[in-house]
């Protein structure tokens, strides 16, 4: 196994498989406001979509629109039958609940796998659509032949979009499953010593360079899901320099899990 688990090779593998698809697809992107982070993500989506022949149809609304107008516009997109899946981009206006919008598009257009039906299938061990970030972690593990069976796996972070679904996926009776999973969060006591027991440590806590070498046992595999801005540069939730010396393998930021997420989103479009 390589020491640095780069996302580029994983992305190329996913996109090559998508290019082989005979029928072309159209992704609907629903966006409210002009957040710089979501603008960057949208550019990445369009770039990869163009490469594999997927059309991106973007509906952008001003942030000062009423909740009624936003919901009505989304319903129109969902009922148009002109798109094969819809991505609802965050952040949304403070008064908007993304779960309400996910209910509007329904399970069959839910390209992020966050509809209650799709999450329920995942919880039962038979996922239809896997959320793109957990999916990116699994694809990285698959590409680099990381064995999860029986491995003590610690996930730091319990969000609905990463920690919780990823924990359930790694518990499945499947090749990329059968792990012994511990989920840590803000109320976990002595999180440092808990994470130090991990054969595989996955960090998705949203705090810049939270995990240092003291959290990691010698020879662990460390997967950093975080993306944070610190002192004008992009860093992960893991302090790369101090952890790299102890880890058997580690993902970089940028260029690791986050970079694979867009490719997984496009892959989900075909699964729908």
- Write the pLDDT tens digit of every residue in 134-190: 999 999 999 999 999 999 999 999 999 999 999 999 999 999 999 999 999 999 999
Report the pLDDT value the prediction gives residue 232, as an integer from 0 to 100.
87
- Domain 23-120 -> CATH class: alpha beta
Coil/strand/helix, residue 200? strand
The CATH number of domain 132-259, selected from 3.40.640.10, 3.40.50.720, 2.60.40.4070, 3.40.50.300: 3.40.50.720
Q: What CA–CA distances, in Å, run from 241 to 197, 199, 203, 212?
A: 20, 19, 15, 9
Q: How far apart are CA 249 and CA 145, in angstroms?
A: 12
Q: How far apart are CA 38 and CA 170, in angstroms?
A: 29
DSSP state of 194: H
Write down the domain spans for the chain: 23-120, 132-259
Q: What CA–CA distances, in Å, run from 190 to 79, 154, 163, 194?
A: 50, 13, 19, 7
pTM comes to 0.94
Rounded to a whole number of angstroms, the CA Rg of the chain reads 19
Tell me if 23-120 shares its fold with 132-259. Answer: yes
Q: How far apart are CA 179 and CA 10, in angstroms?
A: 22
pLDDT greater than 90 at residue 95: no
* 19-28, 35-44, 86-95: the lowest-pLDDT one: 35-44
- Write the pLDDT tens digit of every residue in 213-238: 999 999 999 999 999 989 989 999 99
What tokens does 194 get?
Answer: 């808990």
- Write the pLDDT tens digit of every residue in 6-37: 999 999 999 999 999 888 899 999 999 988 88
Please answer whether residues 207 and 176 qualify as being in contact, where contact means their C-beta atoms are separated by less than 8 angstroms.
Answer: no
């Amino acid at each position: 196994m390589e020491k640095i688990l780069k996302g580029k090779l994983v992305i190329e593998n996913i996109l090559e498989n998508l290019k082989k698809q005979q029928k072309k697809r159209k992704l609907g992107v629903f966006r409210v406001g002009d957040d710089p982070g979501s603008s960057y993500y949208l550019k990445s989506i369009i770039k990869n979509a163009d490469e594999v022949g997927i059309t991106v149809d973007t509906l952008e609304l001003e942030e000062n629109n009423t909740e009624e107008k936003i919901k009505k516009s989304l319903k129109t997109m969902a009922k148009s039958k002109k798109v094969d899946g819809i991505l609802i981009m965050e952040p949304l206006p403070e008064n908007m609940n993304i779960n309400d919008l996910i209910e509007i598009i329904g399970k069959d257009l839910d390209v992020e796998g966050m509809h209650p039906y799709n999450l329920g299938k995942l919880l039962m061990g038979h996922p239809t659509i896997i959320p793109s970030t957990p999916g990116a972690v699994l694809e990285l593990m698959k590409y680099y032949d990381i064995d999860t069976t029986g491995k003590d796996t610690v996930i730091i972070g319990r969000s609905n979009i990463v920690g919780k679904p990823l924990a359930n996926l790694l518990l499945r009776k499947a090749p990329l499953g059968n792990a012994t999973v511990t989920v840590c969060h803000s109320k976990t006591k002595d999180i440092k010593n808990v994470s130090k027991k991990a054969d595989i440590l996955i960090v998705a806590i949203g705090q810049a360079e939270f995990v240092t070498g003291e959290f990691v046992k010698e020879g662990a595999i460390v997967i950093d899901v975080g993306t944070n801005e610190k002192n004008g540069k992009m860093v992960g939730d893991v302090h790369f320099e101090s952890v790299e010396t102890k880890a058997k393998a580690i993902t970089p930021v940028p260029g690791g899990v986050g970079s694979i997420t867009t490719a997984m989103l496009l892959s989900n479009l075909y699964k729908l």
